[in-house]
Structure 1
Amino acid sequence: MSLPNRDPIQRVSANGVTIKVDEVGANSAIVTVSVSKTLIETCLGDWVHRKAMPHDVTCVSTAVRDQTAMDNRNAAEYVDEYGNCTFGRVRRLAVPGDLVCVTPLTRGQVANDNKAAESRRNPIKNLWGPNACKAGFVWRGADESDQVCVPVSTREQILVDNGLAASRWVDGPYGPQTCVPGYVWREAFIGDKVCVTPETRALARADNLRTHDRVDPPWD
């Protein structure tokens, strides 16, 4: 979007969502943008944020959210003089640092909700429209906003590499996310520091260049 005598707009914010231009390709045919994390963490349907701690955005039922709030209010009642949980209570462990004492049943519910978290959030992944892929292609999903269309096999490799990310990082000249020997940053998008083979990085770059031909209908 541009206006006479003005530079093109680089950022748009509305309704708690920010879309920002990160990079414009050399021929202006491809533009890389990022969507604010607020939208990515939005719950689907009737799910709501649990809020076991202020930064807990796991999506749960309203009943679980209400139980969580009650457990927080009553936390002091179930801690003994040594700081341990009283008999019959265990640490909730909803998120790192969560030491509220709850029943074993509640902690089991917490574990189940954590496992289901990804399927209950991020309305971006359910979008269908200008970025819909042609038959035989799927969104790459290098991160939660990545809608580059790739073959299914590439998507599967992305998931494997994402799962192994931490095991391929070491403290080094580029900080704590320096790649172990033989690996390089994938750079599927700006800031992508998942370590992959040089061949996989080359493929990510090639997929970025081809994305306009793989959507249905193709971009003009």
Structure 2
Amino acid sequence: MCDGYVQCNIVALPEAYAADFARFCALNPKPCPIIGQSNPGETNVPLLGDFDIRTDCPKYQLFVDGSPTAELQDIRDYWQEDWVFFGLGCSFSFEDALLQAGIPLRHIEQDRNVAMYNTNIACQSAGPFSGNMVVSMRPLSVAHTIRSIQICSRFPAVHGAPIHFGNPKDIGIDDINKPDYGDKVEIREGEIPVFWACGVTPQQALRAAKIPCAITHAPGHMLVTDLRNAELATL
């Protein structure tokens, strides 16, 4: 939906936890790049556009004591005046740049979600927030891998360059054919798996923190902003 526009992963939580979460993101900018942050109680960030964070994501995920529970169509019943929300960079933006450069993306060709995996790469902790990095994987030829590194390096606001390519076991992935999230994607002869830091990482941090209540977007239902992907290189 809305090709060319920046989409954001979101995390909303009480102000008491916002500083620690912001520090967690600052310490782990590859998986958790902050594009926008609200003031307590504010329901939008002007930089990102004219929207109401309580209603304008397609779907939300409620976390209670660190566990994902209900999926919600809006979060007005949960929103408090001291809540802060964060807009975090999403891979949909760098995928747009890769496609424009003629780099094929298998999961898009096959109308699937991208394959995502838990890793053994520990994030730096901040307050109650901790955990290992989650990565997304795209199979590419060697030439396309080199080009993708060049392209994505221009977009640190949406995970930047890949963090690993080649042997999945080097980052703790035992079976590339069994993703922890998303869908299995075929790796063809002559291709190598290329791994990017992934915006599912903050949800792992929420599980570890076990705070009483927090809300994210539901998988695949990001906040669509008014920013164009081309503007990300200037953020």
Sort the TM-score into its range (normalised by shorter chain). under 0.3
**Structure with greater proportional helix content:** 1
Structure 2-normalised TM-score? 0.26
Higher strand share: 2
Q: Which structure would you say has the larger RCO, counting Cα contacts within 8 Å and 6 or more residues apart?
A: 2
